[in-house]
Amino acid sequence: MKAHTKESQSTMTPKKALAFLEEGNERFQNNLKANRNLLQQINDTRDGQFPFATILSCIDSRVSAELVFDQGLGDIFSVRIAGNFVNEDILGSMEFACKLAGTKLIVVLGHTSCGAIKGACDHARLGNLTKLIEKIEPAVYAVEEPKDEAVRNSKNLEFVDAVSSKNVELTIQRIRRESPVLKELEDDGEIKIVGAMYDISNGSVHFYE
């Protein structure tokens, strides 16, 4: 499989980009890999890159977007931060990726048993991590069940995963609210913004439509 070119990127649609990721995750789950020569892809991309998707994911070592979607060099822009939330810099990166570099899809990828989400559920406070946790905590408050504070913590993995899912939802809302550039691209059908959840127990990605 060769790296994407300007021509292949130009024929890409948001729907097709999503299908590419879904197919890649199917290969990953079945321990299959597309036949690609990474050294050849280095050569193919030395004069330019034409990725088809931008993926915001957590720094978790088990959730490498290139691996879980079976993508190669030059295929995706990968943005990683603990808790997969957005700030001004990440929004700017996404605007570059979509408006200037031509990607057709933004995926906000959360995952099960997320350590950053667990920290937010426990309202952890530690150095600079405190500010990061505070950015995720709105998702904790937005999950209404269970109401018993005794079980609204990191030991309740069902609650943790519910918060992780809500965090994906709120992050997408922030992208649309705080980036008129991306909102306009989506409204015009040039890109699609979707959420997804990666299951660390089996390697599957569930997309939220």
Q: Is the pLDDT of residue 28 over 90?
A: yes
| Confidence (pLDDT) at 27 | 97
| Confidence (pLDDT) at 92 | 98
CATH no. of 6-208: 3.40.1050.10
Lowest mean pLDDT among 9-13, 38-42, 60-64: 38-42
In this prediction, residue 2 has a pLDDT band, given cuts at 50, 70 and 90, of confident
Q: Is the pLDDT of residue 41 over 90?
A: no
Quote the strand ranges of the chain, DSSP E.
53-57, 76-80, 105-111, 192-198, 205-208
CA–CA dist 99, 188 (Å, integer): 12
Mean pLDDT (whole number) for 46-60: 94
Q: How many CB atoms lie within 10 A of CB 126?
A: 9
User: Where along the chain do its domains lie?
Assistant: 6-208
pTM of the model: 0.94
| Confidence (pLDDT) at 25 | 98
Q: Which amino acid is at 68?
A: V
CA–CA dist 137, 80 (Å, integer): 18
CA–CA dist 5, 54 (Å, integer): 16
In this prediction, residue 202 has a pLDDT band, given cuts at 50, 70 and 90, of very high
Copy the structure tokens of residue 10.
């130009």
Copy the structure tokens of residue 2.
């060769």
DSSP 36-96: --HHHHHHHTTT----SEEEEE---TT--HHHHTT--TTSEEEEE-TT----HHHHHHHHI
Q: Is the pLDDT of residue 184 over 90?
A: yes
- Residue closest to 51 by CA, chosen among 41, 40, 64, 61: 41
